[in-house]
Each structure stands twice: as structure tokens, then as C-alpha cells.
Chains A and B, each alone.
Chain A
Amino acid sequence: MSATRTVRLVWFVTWFNVRMLLASEFFILTTFITPLIFASLAFLLFESGGRQGGQTLMYVALGTGMMGVWSTTLFGCGGAIAWQRWEGTLELLVNAPSRYDFILAGQTMGAVVLGFYGIVATLVWGVVLFGMPLEATFPLILPLSLFAAVVSLGSLGMLIATTFVLYRHANALGNLLEYPIWLIAGLLVPIATLPVWVRPLSWLLAPTWGMEAIRGAATGTEPPLLAIAMCFGLAVVYYVLARVMLVVVLDKARRDATLALQ
């Protein structure tokens, strides 16, 4: 399969999945409404603590936006393979001439891309309701930071999709993993304030570096090159792990004849 066809396939599935998710009330809530509610809550909390400066508002807006991205990634990717099973398309996709991991990559990327709307929404929310100044210290690096975050979260989404499928109730795992990642990825609470043993866990997570890359470009004093490099590095690691998991899971499903079973 040529590189052009691969890119076209991933792009098509990404766009298709964005449209599919837009038809779901749950994802409308997770992507469009939840980040705004958490942004309001966080703005009020920081205001209550007497911290209302532009930098604080930007910190909160980006953090709550990334919380929305994580939720959409978690729920959108966690059930990705299971949904294909329910819809009866998994067997067809696995047996199609196109590589299934590219299809899954497009699907998880769709969830992540939709999730990134959350950051736009919380920024606009901050500007309109809380008078947040909209400025970035490294505006030219910001698009690269966003791209790195999307790629790393998309790869993590693939890993989530291929591991959650082993658990029958993927949504329950989603309910479990929303808050802890918000916490240990330092989206609203700096990692430095968490116990020391938590920090290595934070370093393994794409949201940590994605947030660092975006915040660094928006409010940092130096270009967030390390964070951007970590996003791409982690994306490769996640993709390799996801690919291995996918081969194991699909092989097991074929051997046990459970590919289409719910």
C-alpha cells in the first residue's frame, strides 16, 4: 500500500469517525459541553483562591480543554473495536485488503481531533466570560505543539482501543480512568505538587507532554521542544505496543472464532 493511499485511508476514516461521533449525544456532551462546565468550575475555583491573572486563566482554559480531549479520547477509543463488533463491521474491516491498524488509527484520530475542539471552546469561553487575554509567547510553535499532541494522543487512543477490548465493559474503564489521568497528567494541578512516586507515571502519558507542549508554546518562557519530542517519541512507542496488542487480540479472536461475538 503506497504512502499516499495510506494517508488518504487514515484521513478518510478520521473524517468519517468525526461525523459518526457528532451524531452521538454522549460525545456532543463530552466534547462540546463538559469542557465548558469544568472550565467554569476551575475559573471560579481559582478566582475563589484570589488568582485571576491572564496567565492563570490561560492555564485553566488549556488545562480544562485538555481534560475534554482526554475524555473524548478515552471514551471514543476505548469502545472503538467493541462498536465495530456491535455494528457488525469488524469482520469486514479485519478481512478487507486495507490494513486494519490504519483503519483503527483513523478511527482513534477522529476521536482525538474531535476532542481538540474542547481546547478551542474553553479558550473562547475564557475570553468571552472571564476576560482572558488571548496571546501566545511562541505562536509559530503552537501549531506544531498541537499537531504533536494530536499524534501522541491518537497513538495512545489506539493502545487504549486494543487493550480495552479485552474488558467486556470498556465504558466502565472509561469512567474509572477519567479523573486519575486529569490529575497525574498535571492538566490543572502541577505535577510538582503531586507525590514523587506519581511523577514517573506522568512521564509515560501522552496528555502530560501534550499539555506541556501546548502550554509551553502559549505561556512558557522557552520553546517546548522537549515536550514536542516526547509527544512524537511516545506516539511511536504507543503505536508499536498497539500494533503488537492488535495482532495478539485479532489472532486470539480468529482462533477462538469470537471476532464477531459481542
Chain B
Amino acid sequence: MSYGMLFNWARPSIYIPTLIGGPTFQLLFFAALGSYATDRSPAYFAIGNAVQVSALAGVFGMTMAIANERWFGTLPALLASPADRAALFAGRFLPFLLNGLLVSLYAFVLGVVFLGVRLEPAGIAAAGLALLATVFSCTAIGSLQGAISLRLRDGLFGANLIMMGVLLFCGVNVPVEELPGWMQVISNALPFTHGLAAIRQAADGAGLSQVGGLIAIEVLIGIVYALLAFGLFSFLERSARRNATLDVR
């Protein structure tokens, strides 16, 4: 229910241009730009961006799912209820995780059909697991942004910054090892970096034994962001009750 009510894009007239059309052109743009600017194949950029577009659902979706409670005036009623907060959070989390996977899988199909993406059969299972882990950690950072947005005038500002940060820092288009040192430090703390590296290796045929470590790090990063989000949400709830700012915009 939270997905349908709180996610502004959950209607075909917005969903199709934003979550189908947008990723399609993003893939084509970066495949063309990347292969022109460097010697890498379009498939390299197609894989990176096919994973990155899951953030449209994960980051923007989770931001809306949490922050819109306040904007739609339902936050006080929600927080007055005795519902378990962890269950509330998880209930918001799952639809966006599935949505992110769907958007990413669509983009992969596009990459396979038009941009020369090839997945070695031996690595498909590992690639699938790495994608799931990456979308999970992406949704987790989205939930943190959602919690932060409870205090902001425009939560989507931060969501946009995260989207662009991922494009820049996480090896989506420029390999992490080619970034300046200080950027690599940031990369390693962000979702996507390890998951995407695992997906790239699995696409070349690496099995779970080879990329398991990267997937585990990605999941761990996701858990840390999810816990931070839940902690911040709980803190802001207590703070809002204490200061009577639950409904202040």
C-alpha cells in the first residue's frame, strides 16, 4: 500500500517515461560517450549503467516512501500507531527493492540486445546475486536519504546528489582504480562499487567463489546504511515528539 500511495511515479504516465524511457536513453548516452572517449566497448558502459539505473527506484522511491508521509500529512497518524517500526521500514523497503531489480533487469536486456553485453553462463548465478546485493544496498542508502528528508524542505535534492555521486564515484563509467585517491576512498564507502565490480567479473565468467567477497562487502554496506536509516528515523521520531515538530514543514 505504501508503494502505491507514497511513490509519486507509480502510475504509467510517469513510470514509463521515468523508469523505462530514462534508463534506455541513459544507457545509449553513456555507451556512445564512453566508447567515443575511451577505447572500451559500449558493453562496459551498458553494464555499469544498467546497474546504476536501479537507483532511480531504490533511491528516489525510498526517499518518497518515507518523506512523503510528512508531505501527505500521514506521518502523525503513522507514528501514533503502535505498529512495529522495523516492520514499517521493511514494508517500505521490499517493493522498491523489487522495482529496482526490475528496472535493472530491463536495462540489462537492452544492453544484451543493442549494446553487445554478454554474460558468461558460468557467472550468471553470481551476477544475479551481486545485482540483488547491489539493489539492496542502493535501497538502503535511499532509506537513509528518506529519513534525512523528514527534516528537509526538498528530499529529492539529496536523492539527485546520490544518483550523480554513484555515476561519478562507483565505477559505473570510469573504473574506480583510475579515479584520484580521495575519490577511491569515497567509492569504497558507497553502495554499488563492490557489487558492480562483482557483476563485471561474473559477466566475464567468475563464479561465486571468486566474487563472494565483493558481494559480502556490498551486503554489509547495505546493512550499515539500513541501520543508519532506521536509527535516524527513530531519533527524528523521538525528537519530533519532544519538540512538537511532527507536522512542521
B25 to A193, Cβ gap below 8 A?
Answer: no
Q: Determine, out of A13-21, A37-45, A93-101, A248-256, the stretch whose residues face the partner at the interface.
A: A37-45
B17 to A172, Cβ gap below 8 A?
Answer: yes
B174 touches which of A38, A44, A173 (Cβ 8 Å): A44
Give B137-148 as 1s and 0s: 1 = Cβ < 8 Å from A's Cβ atoms. Answer: 000000000000
A25 to B153, Cβ gap below 8 A?
Answer: yes
A residues less than 8 Å from B134 (CB atoms): none
Distance in Å: Cβ of A161 to nearest Cβ of chain B: 18
A183 to B25, Cβ gap below 8 A?
Answer: yes
A2 at the interface (CB under 8 A from B): no
B36 to A182, Cβ gap below 8 A?
Answer: no
Tell me the chain B residues, 1-29 only, with Cβ under 8 Å from chain A: 9, 13-14, 17-18, 21-22, 25-26, 28-29
Distance in Å: Cβ of A34 to nearest Cβ of chain B: 7
B28 touches which of A48, A168, A169, A179 (Cβ 8 Å): A179
A200 at the interface (CB under 8 A from B): no
Q: Which residue of B lies closest to A194 (CB)?
A: B32
B168 to A40, Cβ gap below 8 A?
Answer: yes
User: How far apart sit A182 and B164, CA to CA, in the bound complex (Å)?
Assistant: 16
Q: Which residue of A lies closest to B23 (CB)?
A: A179
B residues less than 8 Å from A28 (CB atoms): 157
B178 to A193, Cβ gap below 8 A?
Answer: no
B residues less than 8 Å from A182 (CB atoms): 29
A44 to B167, Cβ gap below 8 A?
Answer: no
User: How far apart sit A175 and B22, CA to CA, in the bound complex (Å)?
Assistant: 6
Q: Which residue of A lies closest to B165 (CB)?
A: A37
B37 at the interface (CB under 8 A from A): yes
A residues less than 8 Å from B9 (CB atoms): 172
Q: How many residues on chain A are close to B (CB under 8 Å)? A: 36
User: Main SS of the interface on chain B?
Assistant: helix
Distance in Å: Cβ of A179 to nearest Cβ of chain B: 4
B168 to A41, Cβ gap below 8 A?
Answer: yes
User: How far apart sit A45 and B153, CA to CA, in the bound complex (Å)?
Assistant: 34
A229 at the interface (CB under 8 A from B): no
B37 touches which of A29, A42, A169, A180 (Cβ 8 Å): A42
A residues less than 8 Å from B178 (CB atoms): 44, 47-48
User: How far apart sit A62 and B142, CA to CA, in the bound complex (Å)?
Assistant: 32
Distance in Å: Cβ of A30 to nearest Cβ of chain B: 8
Q: Which residue of A lies closest to B11 (CB)?
A: A169
A183 to B154, Cβ gap below 8 A?
Answer: no
A86 at the interface (CB under 8 A from B): no
B34 at the interface (CB under 8 A from A): yes
A residues less than 8 Å from B161 (CB atoms): 29, 33
B37 to A48, Cβ gap below 8 A?
Answer: yes
B33 touches which of A37, A42, A167 (Cβ 8 Å): A42
A46 to B37, Cβ gap below 8 A?
Answer: yes
Tell me the chain A residues, 161-183 only, with Cβ under 8 Å from chain B: 167-169, 171-173, 175-176, 178-180, 182-183
Return 26 A-B CB contacts under 8 Å, by A number.
A25-B154, A28-B157, A34-B160, A41-B167, A41-B168, A41-B173, A41-B174, A44-B178, A45-B34, A45-B37, A45-B174, A46-B37, A48-B37, A48-B38, A48-B175, A49-B38, A169-B13, A169-B17, A173-B17, A175-B21, A178-B22, A179-B28, A183-B29, A183-B33, A189-B33, A190-B36
Interface residues of B (CB under 8 A from A): 9, 13-14, 17-18, 21-22, 25-26, 28-29, 32-34, 36-39, 153-154, 156-157, 160-161, 164-165, 167-168, 173-175, 178-179
Can you list the 9 inter-chain pairs with the closest CB atoms, starting with the nearest? A49-B38, A179-B25, A176-B17, A176-B21, A172-B17, A25-B154, A172-B14, A45-B37, A179-B29
